[in-house]
Structure 1
Amino acid sequence: MSRRLELRQVSKRFGDIDVLADITLHIEPGEFVSILGPSGAGKSTIFSL
């Protein structure tokens, strides 16, 4: 059975710093997704939740 990956309005803070703010992401079965951005943009934080 295939399921999609879905994040809805996800936010993350470290102390007073917002590292993710209201992130929504939908990945359907069979889709290939790449998350790009500069260092410190929160890419790794998304996957460590």
Structure 2
Amino acid sequence: DSKYDYVAATGAGLDFIFLSDWTEVPDWQAYCEIHKIKVLANIAQLMNE
């Protein structure tokens, strides 16, 4: 995922979960912590929740 995905989703009023296996954002952990974004590794992990 990217920062733009988060901005676009929340701007549209959608829930957002950051999938870390697919990101190229170097500081994604800090970004997600600052914005209190739920993080999962991938869709398989989401399906198991």
Structure-2-length-normalised TM-score: 0.27
Name whichever structure is richer in helix by fraction.
2
Q: Relative CO higher for 1 or 2, CA cutoff 8 Å, sep ≥ 6?
A: 2
Name whichever structure is richer in strand by fraction.
1
User: Highest CA radius of gyration, 1 or 2?
Assistant: 1
